[in-house]
Chains A and B, each alone.
Chain A
């Protein structure tokens, strides 16, 4: 008979193995699903996971998708470590794209070297503003952060749609809901000729290292971890919950805003209504899959970016609806949460039960 037994010490092996097992289980789930749909499961998995890494062009595209996921996930990792349930990365990303675009369009005829930095800063500040409001409402009025950040996602989306239909619409764009294409002075430089690998990707990776440094090396990071793991202890120690909340929320808003402005000044090159296919929501999965560890988020963001790429390819090559990506993300998080059970518990078999 199999029994569940609580471990006396949490398993450090399972802490690392749990996301890997979850990924394997998700793939098995995928095989079963594709078989049920009369698609060759191995072909489907190949298209989903291997094809996106098959050549340099695809790897470049994968990195383009990884960048916003990573930016957002690093910020969310810090938020969730501090027990601040910020679900608003999507809205903060959109706000960053919107704010950045508004400034970029001012420089449409400019060749100034300050154009790009100003645009990026505008994006970052917009993202911070978008996370600052729910933070203020939580700290001042005790309103539920999850719900306000979600609402702000919707508000940002409609604001963006309004902007591309109104003030920011390209006057020569035949009425399409798009802004004009940005000038070269407000476009992120390409790092690798012939690909779309842009400077933003480098910033995203740097942000992960910054996040890691803060969390594990600084007293501030320690306070964030205590605040999230055990709020009464943080209060007892005299850490200022308000300051920590502000820090993680603004940090994550800044990174999400950065992600947004990098999208419009990088691979897209203009403001469009569908800046993000839900990067801000997927980043929640990335953060969890990376164990709320900023460096873990790099690996996790690559995995999800591959899945995004694969989803596009699967739709083109095999006629599998692209929505399969969203479903896989949900399943992945389910399996991850289930596997985490075995960090603190283990299965024992009757003949092995000893004291």
Chain B
């Protein structure tokens, strides 16, 4: 395998890993507050279709991104109301969100199938992109990829170094105690959920505006679910999410690499790779129960209702 191919593969791994990274960055904040939102796939599809339609009708991809993020937030708000105010089961509500998003996106997108839009073009960053190999891998992307780099740094900083991060961690560990010392648990959780939704919407628009760029039914192909596995893989740590996203990105393009190397395996079997890889990774990561209990937000998935506190 020559150097050019390696550069090409790593470049593609970052591109493919970016939507996973964006979703996982949002979901990790949501999960740190104790909420498990399984609706990623549905929100991502809605982000993709709304982003595409907005960009297609205005001719401006920026509007597309904005619309997708708003849509993602709105979808997650539905989830938030059901889970936080109506006490619905988080797993069931997340599934409902995915089923709803899958159906609704196909419904509103049916007139736009087959069209293309002018998405974001790669921008070579001056100087940095001239670094041999590294420049080509890291600094020759479109703006959304750079945005994901910046967001990862900001989110890591906020989660680990600021009071917001402290509050998030407190709410996710013990909402009853947080409520008792006067933290507005529901407000924190709403914000975390909606932040997660916006990030997933953004990831959706990345798919339909940059990655393909077009709209097709079910185009996200399980990426929302893989991103959820990624959060577990990363043990709720932002640095490892970034690493994991690109690893998963690499797994998704493995079949291209193998075909490039002349390996003769059916493309349908190779298409299973990311899913098989996800299962294997989850098995390896979760096997250490002791560690997972230590790292997972302790109230994750458990309902909390401040009104029922006697």
Which residues does chain B contribute within 8 Å of A108, judged by CB atoms? none
Interface stretch, picked from A240-248, A257-265, A324-332, is A324-332
0/1 string, B86-111, CB within 8 A of A gives 1: 11110111011111111110110010
Whether the pair B275, A154 counts as a contact (CB closer than 8 A) is: yes
- How many whole Å from B81's CB to the nearest CB in chain A? 8
Which A residues from 144 to 177 make CB contacts under 8 A with B? 144, 146-148, 150-152, 154-155, 158-159, 161-162, 165-166
Interface assignment of B219: CB less than 8 Å from any CB of chain A: no
Q: Quote the shortest CB–CB distance from B291 to chain A (angstroms).
A: 11
Report the bound CA distance from A325 to B107 in whole Å: 9
- CB of A334 within 8 A of CB of B100, answer yes
A38 interface hit (Cβ, 8 Å): no
Partner of B99, one of A141, A162, A281: A281
Bound together, the chains give a CA A165 to CA B96 distance in angstroms of 33
Is B217 engaged at the interface, CB distance under 8 Å to the other chain?
yes
Give Cα A162 to B276, complex, Å: 15
User: Does B20 make an interface contact (CB < 8 A)?
Assistant: no
Q: How far is the CA of A338 from the CA of B279 in the complex (A)?
A: 33
Asked whether, in the complex, the Cβ of A142 is within 8 Å of the Cβ of B101, the reply is no
**B42 contacts A by Cβ under 8 Å:** yes
Given contact pairs A141-B287, A334-B78, A6 touches B307 in the complex (Cβ within 8 A): yes
Asked if residues A151 and B96 are in contact (CB atoms below 8 Å), the reply is no
Evaluate contact between A341 and B229: CB separation under 8 angstroms: no
Q: What is the CA–CA distance of A288 and B95 in the complex, to the nearest angstrom?
A: 11
Residue of B nearest to A341 (CB): B86
CA distance A78 to B306 in the complex (A): 31
Q: How far is the CA of A323 from the CA of B100 in the complex (A)?
A: 10
B178 within 8 A of partner (CB): no
- CA A147 to CA B92, docked complex, whole Å: 14
Asked if A158 and B271 sit within 8 Å, CB to CB, the answer is: yes
For chain B, give the interface size range. 35 or more
Q: Give A340 to B89 CA distance when docked, in angstroms.
A: 10
Q: Is B134 an interface residue, CB under 8 A from the partner?
A: no
> Is the Cβ of B101 less than 8 Å from the Cβ of A323?
no
Q: How would residues 131 to 151 of chain A score, 1 for a CB under 8 Å from any chain B CB and 0 otherwise?
A: 000000100011110111011
Say yes or no: is A125 at the interface (Cβ < 8 Å to chain B). Answer: no
Tell me whether B102 and A146 are in contact (CB under 8 A).
Answer: no
Asked if A330 meets B100 with Cβ closer than 8 Å, knowing A6-B307, A341-B88, the reply is yes
Residue of A nearest to B292 (CB): A142
Q: Is B268 an interface residue (CB 8 A)?
A: yes
B residues in contact with A162, CB < 8 Å: 266, 268-269
B78 with A337: CB separation less than 8 A: no
Which of A158, A166, A333, A344 sits near B96, CB closer than 8 Å? A333
The answer to the question of A124 belonging to the interface, with a C-beta cut-off of 8 Å to chain B, is no
Q: Which listed residue, B42, B107, B232, B276, touches A323 by the CB 8 Å rule?
A: B107
Contact in complex: A327, B286 (CB < 8 Å): no
Contact A326 B282 (CB under 8 A): no
Known: A155-B275, A166-B266, A341-B88. A330 touches B104 (CB 8 A): yes
Verify B99–A325 contact, CB threshold 8 A.
no
Give CA–CA (A186, B24) in the complex, Å: 47
Judging by beta carbons under 8 Å apart, are B266 and A330 in contact?
no
Is B272 an interface residue when CB atoms closer than 8 A count as contact? yes
- B242 interface residue per 8 A CB criterion: no
* CB proximity of B179 to chain A, nearest CB, Å: 17
Q: Is B116 an interface residue (CB 8 A)?
A: no
Q: Which residues of B contact A285 (CB under 8 A)?
A: 99
B225 within 8 A of A: yes
Flag A309-335 by CB within 8 Å of B: 1 or 0 each: 000000000000101111111110110
Closest Cβ of chain A: how far from B292's Cβ, in Å? Answer: 7
The reply to whether the CB of B28 lies closer than 8 angstroms to some CB of chain A is no
Q: Are A158 and B42 in contact (CB under 8 A)?
A: no
Q: Say yes or no: A151-B275 contact (C-beta < 8 A), given A326-B106, A337-B92, A341-B87.
A: yes
Determine the residue in chain A with the shortest Cβ distance to B41.
Answer: A150
B308 within 8 A of A: yes
Residues of A within 8 A of B89 (CB): 337
Known contacts A323-B107, A324-B107; is-contact A148 B99 (Cβ 8 Å): no
| CB-based contact B272/A284 at 8 Å | no
Are the CB atoms of B42 and A330 closer together than 8 Å? Answer: yes
What would 6 A/B residue contacts be, using CB atoms closer than 8 Å?
A: A6-B307, A142-B287, A144-B229, A158-B272, A323-B107, A330-B96
Given contacts A144-B286, A325-B103, A330-B96, 9 further A-B contacts (CB under 8 A): A141-B283, A142-B287, A147-B228, A147-B229, A158-B268, A324-B103, A328-B103, A333-B96, A333-B100
Which residues of B are in contact with A by a Cβ distance under 8 Å? 38, 42, 78, 82, 86-89, 91-93, 95-104, 106-107, 110, 217, 221-222, 225, 228-229, 232, 266, 268-269, 271-272, 275-276, 278-279, 282-283, 285-287, 289, 292, 307-308
